[in-house]
């Protein structure tokens, strides 16, 4: 077949046209709604100006929130504490700032308003975003963590995920890959699903986005890589606040998508008429954090000879003494494929407004050239947020566009041996005695296993993914009568991602196929239409009632294809220069799912002491079986503001609120088409001299398939002490997840591999504490915030389900349990082996190999002797942030800890196994102290074939707890620079110190086919005009 | 203000409308759309559907693991091709013909396999039954299906029956005690029991007999590679021989011989790149030099520095290599002296590369275009010779059949012909036929069945120093995964 480049380009061009037309339609709709009432507005609004300062400081208070009570619109004060806001006479403004008492003013004239905030009041009066609305923090009945811009991780970050890292209790982020823009594993209050997603639902400005990967994947060993973060397309510098909804009271309003928690992301908006410009820029250098100490050339040759001679006594050694003497250090293969990485970012943002229109805009450039040569993430993004207010009508538009260019390095395939390795694990198959290139300038071939590609040759692979994403939402809100508002919210999230991968002839695989390439394209789009009605009524005696009802509809589409082709006419490194090739196969895909939902919520506040919240959501989903289309998710919560009781009087306690909530939430994230019996294309075969594919039944019908249901109970306390110097909250919860979706392996005779059933039950229990303390309040200020979350996760009912090969797993063991053999030493002699239980069924037994414990005491070592040796999920995680400020200096330390977690360190196991060193594979320095008859106290197994393919034993299932100095930042603010209201320069170091008992390269990212972690050194500047 | 009121009403009306639209759509909005895949209630609606469904059997013959999954680009080493997870690994590598260099396969070659030590090749059990499921599913869905033409209905039925028999006869040989399933099970949790081997054998014979009556003798070029009447009789002859039903084997073999196949004049032509035109061949897995659909025999046997590349995994044993008459042309396809990638000549010491399939100059990586031979006339000659000897041996017809093949192998050198007078007993000719089969059919997946039929499978292992080989090793263990998933299964004796 002929591969036509031109035709493909035209197709994608047309797709983009359609893409822009789709966006255009939404813009037109939003603009129409915005401007439709412009001509008719001649109304008496006034511009109110004022200044906010704190009672304990002489200067104005920057960043205080000014909110119009009637419309919910507002502004923040500038650097000197000044603000202006448009309002009608008689309206009330609410002035608030973290750590100060909120004040209300009724506007009677346009006079300048001086406001002094008292510092003795709690943080509980911040306005926080909740599902489908906002609430005063003091009125919240559920468990909600708020992260403000000031609390977010400093330094350059690629995605929203980095901002979440250990900043709130109970939110556990583990970096899945250290590559530029690498993904994160995010769990809120533990994992509750085996088959489905365990990550939270992300809602950006009211739009629930899918965290599915939108990039075309690849199954090939030279193109596979851990997925990059799907949130990379959202610029984190546009974010002003993040709310993390944790308990059922907060999340049940998101129904079948709420079980893993919900992350609400709010972007910056314009809030005054004055134009403010912000500019920030940073530049970072990255150095490889830590790697294994490998044998140098001299050591490698020596150990190779020793191993060879122990197997072939009396023969000539592989390397002569002369060769060993002149070997020196030799080639460090990691050095050959790594470099000093750089991160470079530029952001310009502005906000301001006209009479009725407020705007925010930003443009951002982010470029991360990783420490592996070639690997890179580049993003250009822009955002425009508009708000229009006129009388009872409010309308808004939020649009962000991003273009992400990824360059990936190969990570290799999970199976298939060294020939199938990726960039980093390949370095371990190469002797330090070899040079990168041979005398002819070509890549040196592997001397023993000729099909193992030279690691440096893998850098010639071009694997690019270019992604465009537009996320736009538009809303119109109208106040029908006093307190009754109707809001229509429309949105669209659209991305187009193209992958072009090319394996040139310099790579063995490319040479075998005379050039190999893959082109993939994925279009994903999700469309949201929702309508909500809110009724809010202030009742007598400080009581109030808020009622919310609505319906929402969201459709998720994705389609695309990937084509593999081989045999290029020319050797080329540029995809666009491929003129002809044989197409091996084109795999199309197309999927669609829909979610139709109805929701309602009542908030009742009695005497500002007793708070009640009830919420309910009904979700109908296409993903589930015909008999179970609808799921219903109720929740209820009660809170008691004890400090407002007459009987309560304490000079010590300023705030005390007790909360309790109970409710049900679901998880429907299991992929499409799992309930239906389908025929799917088979792999290829040949009939009539041409490749063909058949169709075969994919899975049995399962009309009963449904969402997983989590029932969560939460009890909590919010408090503020000692004149609000110390404040925080403590929560305890229990989450029971029923109907856990499990893939049961079927007997081979069934004709299908698996059947998906709702069967198991998983429990998560935990305690969370978040605490902020203003330790020293003076010219020298010291603020600490600390959070810690304990979570215990276990099976309550496995329903007979055990992961493949783990039939020994404990009935009530943890979801992330790691099972393996208990090592009780090294065999010292054949006699000891003969007198020990026979372990030949699972591993080689020789003097110098591991001796396993016969845990079930049946006299023979079998897979049944494996026991629970660890858990990938931590027992507890914490974050500790300390900020010191003195005059214009500020210093920040951020420690992150993840304790009581284990990891199977396969890399170390492999590097300590000298078995294949004679094939030219290099080993770590640890093998210098391996067991030999002459070194019976050696720490590392020494005989050949020590692992026999098994590393799952107590020696290599390691404690991977760690405490990391994630950030240390030193800043200086200039406040006398002309025309610049705020100029700050700072230096930041990421990952400076990691304390861990883990023996591998990195307790988070170390995998056999890893991308090593880095230390990042940053200089940055930010200015506000 | 009036305008505002109007706007209010407009907005409100719009909201109500939106709500109404959302609600009305609700009933069908939750029906799941199916793209790319085909919903089962929308399949088997025409001839094309039936043909596509039965094509899955051909795909299964070269698949490893799940046959579906769609990418069509996997680099699988399964099915009836060559590789770690193929029938080759079960039927060939642990015999006196072969040596396997890969240490992971020691459990096969050393007879130390246990139910849980299959490693990543244990899915062959599931593979065979997935093939059986596909065949059963086709048979059920085309039965009395008015949407199909009679011609396609017959042909597809024949293909499905042949496929079922091929998978069953293979599973019977490997695992012995297996369930008998002739319908696609609608409830996947329904666990089947094992059936007596005789019942499975009866099913195979019935299926092949019926398939032979339904399948055409040949196809147009665009359908080349499908199962034919000749293939059905050839498979039947092989199966009856293994079952020691001598007269039935004779009948089936004679039927094949009457179908117009002719011996290739050159032995090596049978395995050439363009072997699809060879008239000796009865059934192949057609190959194209592309990833996943090529022939990888050369790659599996070639030394890593062989000019055609390779992994140096499967070699002919030196002891087997030495049994050949030096003048035997069939021996020439076993290579000890080879040209390396750098052009120098090298020697293999621990065996001989099996370059039975001609090196394809247009190969892509390990993938070559030589069709994989499953049945050919030369094999039928030896089957007939052996069955005739068992029925009434020694006899001249057996001798003549063998001499046809020896004539080809030795340039018609009359001194290399065998004579009836050389064989005084049935046993002596039987032993000779077994040897001749290894020279003629080496590495074509016959050896294990041949040794089992002759009662020498365990002895050959003991003779080459595999002291662990015991009588129960004539069957493989049921993989532990399967035992775990189906509590109704009993493990084979000895494991």
pLDDT in tens, A335-352: 999 999 999 999 999 999
CB contact under 8 Å between A678 and B34, yes or no, is yes
- Average pLDDT estimate for B451-463: 95
Q: Is residue A331 part of a domain?
A: no
Residue keyed to tokens 């642990």? B94
| Local confidence band at A25 (pLDDT 50, 70, 90 cut-offs) | very low
Domain residue spans in chain B?
A: 47-283+375-485
Q: What's the pLDDT tens digit per position in B366-389?
A: 889 999 999 999 999 999 999 999
Predicted complex ipTM: 0.91
Considering chain A, what percentage of its residues have pLDDT values greater than 70? 90
Chain A CB contacts of B485 below 8 Å: 745-748
Q: Please tell me which of the candidates A683, A691, A748 has its beta carbon nearest to residue B63.
A: A683
pLDDT of res. A27: 41
CB contact under 8 Å between B74 and A219, yes or no, is yes
Q: What's the pLDDT tens digit per position in A849-897?
A: 888 999 999 988 888 888 999 999 999 999 999 999 998 899 999 999 9
Which position has the higher pLDDT, A56 or B42?
A: B42
> What are the start-end ranges of the E strands in A746-833?
754-776, 780-797, 817-820, 823-826
Question: CB of A181 within 8 A of CB of A368?
Answer: yes
- Average pLDDT estimate for A359-378: 93
Highest mean pLDDT among A657-661, A816-820, B13-17: A657-661
Question: A497-506, B206-215, B265-274, B405-414: which range is least confident on average?
Answer: A497-506
Q: What's the pLDDT tens digit per position in A894-912?
A: 999 999 999 999 889 889 8
pLDDT of res. A53: 81
Among A482, A685, A745, A920, which would you mutate to test the B interface (most chain B Cβ atoms within 10 Å of its Cβ)? A685
Alpha-helical segments (H) within A806-942: 830-834, 906-911
Task: Mark which residues 483-542 of A lie under 8 Å from B by CB.
Answer: 486, 488, 509, 512-514, 529, 531
Closest CA to A527 of A590, A596, A476: A596
Q: Is residue A60 part of a domain?
A: yes
**Residue A153 confidence (pLDDT) above 70:** no
Q: For A553, name the nearest residue in chain B, comparing CA atoms only.
A: B22
Chain B CB contacts of A945 below 8 Å: 103
Among A34, A532, A682, which would you mutate to test the B interface (most chain B Cβ atoms within 10 Å of its Cβ)? A682
Chain A CB contacts of B14 below 8 Å: 488
Q: Residue A944 to residues A297, A912, A978: CA-CA distances in angstroms?
A: 21, 11, 72
CB contact under 8 Å between B55 and A689, yes or no, is no
Chain B CB contacts of A681 below 8 Å: 36-37, 68, 70, 72
Q: Please tell me which of the candidates B30, B56, B75 has its beta carbon nearest to residue A694.
A: B56
Q: What's the pLDDT tens digit per position in A213-233?
A: 667 766 565 655 666 777 787
**Residue A545 confidence (pLDDT) above 80:** yes
Residue keyed to tokens 């532990």? B480
Rounded Cα gap, residues B122 and B133, in angstroms: 18
**Residue B35 confidence (pLDDT) above 80:** no
- Average pLDDT estimate for A68-81: 78
Question: CB of A555 within 8 A of CB of A672?
Answer: no
A322-349 core/surface letters (b: 16 or more CB in 10 A; e: else): eebeebeebbbbbebbbbebbbebebeb
DSSP calls for A396-420: EEEEEEEEEEEE----B-SSS-GGG
Q: Is residue A536 part of a domain?
A: no
Q: Is A799 on the interface with B (CB under 8 A)?
A: no
Considering chain B, what percentage of its residues have pLDDT values greater than 70? 89
Closest CA to A423 of A459, A376, A399: A459
Chain B CB contacts of A676 below 8 Å: 32, 34, 39-40
Q: What's the pLDDT tens digit per position in A995-1005?
A: 999 998 889 88
Rounded Cα gap, residues B184 and B206, in angstroms: 18
B469-B474-B478 Cα angle (round to 5): 105
pLDDT of res. A98: 65
pLDDT of res. A768: 95
Q: Is residue A931 part of a domain?
A: no
pLDDT of res. A572: 67
Question: CB of B490 within 8 A of CB of B177?
Answer: yes
Chain A CB contacts of B49 below 8 Å: 695
Q: A882 CA to chain B: closest CA distance, Å?
A: 49
Task: Check which CATH number belongs to the domain holding A92 and give it.
Answer: 2.60.40.1120
Closest CA to B47 of B142, B160, B161: B142
CB contact under 8 Å between B126 and A415, yes or no, is no
Q: For A807, name the nearest residue in chain B, comparing CA atoms only.
A: B484
| Local confidence band at A950 (pLDDT 50, 70, 90 cut-offs) | low
Q: Residue A141 to residues A138, A203, A603, B97: CA-CA distances in angstroms?
A: 8, 20, 9, 77
Q: Please tell me which of the candidates A584, A676, A682 has its beta carbon nearest to residue B290.
A: A584
- How many domains does the structure of chain A reveal? 1
| Local confidence band at A686 (pLDDT 50, 70, 90 cut-offs) | very high
Which position has the higher pLDDT, A520 or A273?
A: A520
Neighbours of B361 (CB within 10 A): 10
pLDDT of res. A651: 80
Q: What's the pLDDT tens digit per position in A245-270?
A: 999 989 999 999 999 999 999 999 88
**Residue A363 confidence (pLDDT) above 50:** yes
Which position has the higher pLDDT, A299 or A87?
A: A299
Task: Mark which residues 563-592 of A lie under 8 Å from B by CB.
Answer: 564, 566-567, 582, 584-585, 587-592
Q: What's the pLDDT tens digit per position in A316-337?
A: 998 999 999 998 999 999 999 9
Among A40, A445, A679, which would you mutate to test the B interface (most chain B Cβ atoms within 10 Å of its Cβ)? A679
Q: Is residue A396 part of a domain?
A: no
Q: A285 CA to chain B: closest CA distance, Å?
A: 40
| Local confidence band at A627 (pLDDT 50, 70, 90 cut-offs) | confident
pLDDT of res. A117: 79
Q: Which residues pair with A11 in a beta bridge?
A: none
| Local confidence band at A452 (pLDDT 50, 70, 90 cut-offs) | confident
Which position has the higher pLDDT, A71 or B109?
A: B109
HEC string of A280-341?
Answer: EEEEEEEEECCCCCECCHHHHHHHHHHHHHHHCCCCCCCCCHHHHHCCCCCCCHHHHHECCE
Q: For A476, name the nearest residue in chain B, comparing CA atoms only.
A: B11
pLDDT of res. A230: 72
The CATH T-level fold of domain B47-283+375-485 is 1.25.40
Rounded Cα gap, residues A826 and B29, in angstroms: 64
Which position has the higher pLDDT, A752 or A265?
A: A265
Q: Is residue A363 part of a domain?
A: no
| Local confidence band at A39 (pLDDT 50, 70, 90 cut-offs) | very low
Helix, strand, or coil (residue B416): helix
CB contact under 8 Å between A841 and B15, yes or no, is no
pLDDT of res. A21: 46
Q: Is A9 on the interface with B (CB under 8 A)?
A: no
pLDDT of res. A35: 34
Q: For A675, name the nearest residue in chain B, comparing CA atoms only.
A: B32
Which position has the higher pLDDT, A32 or A750?
A: A750
Q: Is residue A496 part of a domain?
A: no
DSSP calls for A713-748: EEEEEEEEETTTTEEEEEEEEEEEEEEEEEEEEPPG
| Local confidence band at A29 (pLDDT 50, 70, 90 cut-offs) | very low
Domain extent for A71: 45-121
> What are the start-end ranges of the E strands in A935-976?
957-959, 962-974
Rounded Cα gap, residues B236 and B229, in angstroms: 11
A-B CB pairs within 8 A amount to: 301
Q: Which residues pair with A242 in a beta bridge?
A: A147, A265
Neighbours of A424 (CB within 10 A): 27
Q: Please tell me which of the candidates A531, A566, A620 has its beta carbon nearest to residue B30.
A: A620
Q: For B13, name the nearest residue in chain A, comparing CA atoms only.
A: A486
Q: Is residue A973 part of a domain?
A: no
- Average pLDDT estimate for A706-713: 92
Q: Return left, alpha or beta for A993; rule: phi > 0 is left, psi -120 to 50 is alpha, else beta.
A: beta
């Amino acid at each position: 077949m002929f591969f036509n480049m031109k035709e493909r380009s035209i197709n994608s061009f047309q797709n983009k046209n359609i893409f822009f037309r789709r966006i255009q339609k939404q813009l037109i709709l939003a603009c129409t709604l915005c401007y439709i009432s412009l001509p008719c507005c001649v109304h008496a609004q006034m511009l109110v100006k004022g200044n906010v300062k704190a009672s304990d400081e002489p200067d104005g208070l920057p960043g205080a929130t000014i909110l119009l009570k009637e419309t919910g619109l507002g502004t923040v004060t500038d650097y000197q504490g000044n603000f202006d806001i448009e309002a009608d006479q008689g309206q009330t403004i609410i002035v608030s700032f973290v750590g100060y008492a909120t004040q209300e003013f009724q506007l009677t004239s346009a006079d300048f308003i001086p406001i002094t905030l008292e510092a003795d009041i709690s943080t509980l009066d911040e306005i926080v975003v909740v599902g489908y609305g906002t609430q005063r923090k003091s009125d919240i009945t559920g468990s909600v963590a708020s992260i403000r811009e000031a609390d977010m991780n400093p330094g350059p970050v690629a995605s929203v995920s980095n901002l979440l890292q250990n900043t709130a209790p109970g939110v556990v982020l583990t970096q899945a890959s250290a590559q530029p823009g690498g993904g994160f594993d995010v769990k809120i209050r533990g994992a509750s699903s085996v088959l489905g997603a365990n990550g939270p639902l992300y809602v950006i400005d009211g739009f629930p986005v899918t965290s599915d990967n939108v990039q075309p994947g690849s199954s090939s060993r030279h193109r596979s890589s851990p997925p990059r973060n799907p949130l990379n397309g959202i610029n984190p510098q546009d974010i002003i606040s993040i709310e993390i909804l944790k308990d059922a009271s907060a999340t049940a309003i998101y129904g079948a998508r709420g079980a893993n928690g919900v992350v609400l992301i709010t972007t910056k908006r314009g809030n005054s008429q004055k134009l403010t410009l912000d500019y920030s820029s940073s530049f970072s250098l990255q150095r490889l954090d830590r790697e294994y100490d490998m044998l140098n050339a001299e050591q490698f040759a020596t150990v190779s000879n020793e191993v060879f001679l122990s197997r072939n006594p009396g023969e000539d050694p592989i390397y002569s003494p002369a060769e060993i003497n002149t070997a020196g250090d030799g080639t460090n293969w990691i050095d050959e494929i790594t470099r000093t990485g750089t991160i470079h970012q530029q952001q310009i943002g502005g906000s301001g407004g006209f009479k009725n229109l407020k705007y925010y805009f930003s443009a951002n450039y982010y470029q991360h050239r990783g420490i592996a040569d070639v690997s890179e993430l580049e993003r250009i993004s822009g955002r425009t947020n508009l708000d229009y207010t006129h009388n009872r009508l409010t309308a808004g538009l939020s649009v962000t566009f991003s273009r992400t260019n990824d360059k990936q390095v190969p990570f290799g395939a999970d199976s298939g041996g060294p020939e199938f390795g990726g960039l980093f694990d390949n370095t371990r198959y190469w002797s330090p005695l070899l040079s990168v290139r041979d005398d002819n300038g070509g890549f040196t071939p592997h001397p023993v296993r000729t099909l193992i590609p030279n690691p440096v040759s893998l850098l010639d692979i071009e694997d690019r993914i270019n992604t465009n994403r537009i996320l736009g939402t538009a809303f119109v809100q109208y106040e029908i009568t006093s307190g009754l508002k109707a809001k229509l919210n429309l949105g669209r999230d659209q991305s187009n991602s193209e992958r072009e991968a090319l394996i040139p002839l310099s790579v063995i695989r490319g040479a075998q196929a005379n050039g190999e390439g893959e082109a993939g394209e994925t279009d994903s789009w999700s469309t949201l239409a929702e309508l909500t009605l809110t009724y809010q009524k202030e009742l007598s005696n400080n009581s109030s009632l808020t009622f919310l009802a609505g319906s929402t509809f969201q459709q998720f589409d994705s389609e695309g294809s990937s084509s593999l082709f081989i045999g290029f006419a020319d050797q080329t490194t540029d995809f666009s220069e491929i003129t002809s090739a044989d197409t091996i196969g084109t795999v199309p895909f197309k999927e669609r799912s829909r979610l139709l939902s109805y929701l309602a919520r009542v908030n009742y506040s009695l005497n500002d002491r007793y708070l009640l919240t009830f919420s309910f959501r009904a979700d109908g989903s296409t993903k589930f079986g015909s008999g179970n289309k609808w799921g219903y998710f109720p929740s209820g919560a009660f809170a008691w503001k004890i400090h407002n009781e007459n009987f309560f009087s304490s000079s010590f306690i300023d705030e005390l609120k007790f909360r309790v909530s109970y409710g049900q939430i679901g998880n429907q994230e299991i992929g499409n088409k799992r309930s239906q019996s389908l025929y799917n294309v088979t792999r290829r075969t040949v009939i009539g001299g041409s490749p063909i594919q058949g169709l075969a039944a994919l899975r049995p019908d399962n009309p009963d398939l449904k969402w997983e249901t989590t029932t969560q109970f939460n009890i909590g306390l919010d408090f503020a002490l000692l004149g609000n110097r110390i404040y925080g909250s403590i929560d305890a919860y229990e989450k029971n997840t029923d109907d856990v979706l499990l893939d049961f392996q079927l007997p081979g005779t069934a004709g299908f591999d698996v059947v998906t059933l709702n069967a198991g039950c998983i429990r998560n229990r935990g305690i969370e504490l978040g605490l902020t303390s203003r330790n020293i309040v003076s010219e020298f200020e010291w603020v600490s915030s600390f959070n810690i979350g304990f979570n215990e996760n276990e099976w309550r009912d496995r329903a007979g389900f055990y992961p493949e090969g783990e039939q020994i797993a404990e009935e009530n063991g943890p979801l992330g349990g790691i099972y393996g053999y208990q090592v009780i030493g090294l065999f010292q002699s054949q006699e000891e082996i003969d007198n020990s239980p026979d372990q030949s069924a699972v591993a080689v037994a020789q003097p110098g190999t591991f001796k396993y414990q016969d845990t079930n005491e049946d006299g023979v070592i079998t897979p049944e002797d494996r026991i629970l040796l660890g858990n990938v999920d931590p027992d507890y995680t914490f974050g500790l942030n300390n900020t010191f400020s003195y005059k214009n200096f500020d210093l920040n330390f951020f420690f992150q800890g993840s304790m009581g977690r284990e990891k199977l360190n396969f890399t170390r196991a492999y590097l300590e196994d000298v078995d294949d060193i004679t094939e030219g594979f290099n080993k770590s320095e640890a093998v210098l102290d391996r067991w030999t008859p002459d070194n019976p106290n050696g720490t590392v197994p020494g005989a050949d074939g020590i692992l026999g393919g098994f590393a799952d034993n107590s020696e290599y299932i390691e404690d991977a707890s760690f405490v990391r100095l994630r950030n240390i930042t030193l800043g200086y603010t200039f406040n006398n620079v002309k025309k610049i209201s705020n100029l700050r320069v700072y230096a930041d170091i990421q990952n400076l110190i990691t304390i861990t008992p883990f023996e591998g390269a990195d307790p988070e990212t170390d995998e056999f086919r890893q991308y090593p972690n880095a230390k990042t050194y940053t200089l940055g500047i930010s200015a506000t005009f | 203000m009036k305008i505002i009121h109007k706007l209010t009403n407009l907005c409100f009306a719009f909201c109500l409308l939106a709500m109404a639209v959302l609600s009305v759509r609700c009933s069908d909005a939750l029906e799941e759309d199916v793209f790319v895949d085909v919903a089962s209630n929308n399949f088997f609606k025409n001839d094309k559907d039936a043909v596509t469904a039965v094509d899955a059997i051909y795909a299964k013959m070269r698949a490893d693991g799940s046959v579906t999954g769609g990418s069509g680009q996997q680099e699988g080493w399964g099915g009836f091709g060559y590789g770690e997870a193929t029938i080759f690994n079960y039927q060939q590598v642990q015999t006196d013909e072969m040596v396997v260099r890969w240490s992971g396969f020691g459990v096969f070659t050393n007879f130390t396999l246990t139910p849980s030590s299959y490693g990543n090749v244990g899915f062959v059990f599931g593979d065979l039954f997935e093939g059986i499921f596909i065949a059963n599913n086709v048979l059920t869905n085309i039965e009395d299906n008015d949407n199909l033409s009679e011609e396609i209905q017959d042909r597809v039925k024949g293909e499905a029956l042949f496929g079922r028999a091929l998978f069953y006869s293979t599973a019977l040989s490997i695992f012995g005690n297996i369930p008998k399933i002739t319908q696609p099970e609608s409830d996947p949790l329904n666990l089947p029991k094992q059936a007596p081997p005789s019942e499975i054998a009866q099913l195979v014979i019935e299926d092949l007999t019926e398939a032979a009556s339904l399948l055409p003798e040949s196809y147009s070029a665009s359908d080349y590679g499908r199962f034919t009447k000749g293939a059905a009789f050839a498979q039947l002859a092989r199966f009856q021989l293994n079952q020691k039903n001598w007269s039935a084997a004779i009948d089936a073999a004679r039927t094949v011989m009457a179908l117009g196949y002719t011996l290739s004049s050159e032995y090596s032509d049978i395995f050439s790149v363009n072997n699809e035109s060879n008239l000796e061949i009865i059934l192949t897995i057609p190959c194209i030099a592309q990833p996943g659909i090529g022939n990888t025999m050369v790659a599996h046997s070639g030394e890593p520095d062989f000019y055609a590349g390779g992994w140096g995994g499967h070699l002919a044993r030196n002891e087997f290599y030495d049994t050949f008459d030096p003048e035997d042309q069939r021996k020439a396809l076993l290579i000890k002296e080879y040209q390396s990638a750098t052009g120098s000549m090298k020697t293999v010491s621990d065996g001989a590369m099996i370059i039975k399939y001609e090196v394809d100059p247009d190969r892509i990586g390990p993938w070559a275009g030589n069709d994989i031979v499953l049945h050919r006339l030369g094999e039928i000659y030896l089957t007939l010779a052996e069955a005739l000897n068992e029925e009434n041996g020694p006899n001249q017809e057996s001798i003549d059949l063998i001499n046809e093949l020896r004539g080809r192998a030795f340039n018609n050198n009359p001194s290399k012909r065998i004579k009836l007078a050389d064989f005084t007993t049935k046993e002596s000719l039987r032993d000779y036929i077994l040897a001749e089969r290894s020279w003629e059919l080496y590495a074509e997946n016959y050896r294990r069945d041949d040794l089992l039929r002759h009662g020498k499978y365990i002895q050959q292992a003991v003779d080459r120093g595999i002291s662990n080989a015991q009588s129960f090793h004539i069957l493989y263990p049921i993989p532990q995964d399967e035992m775990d998933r189906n509590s109704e299964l009993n493990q084979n004796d000895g494991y």
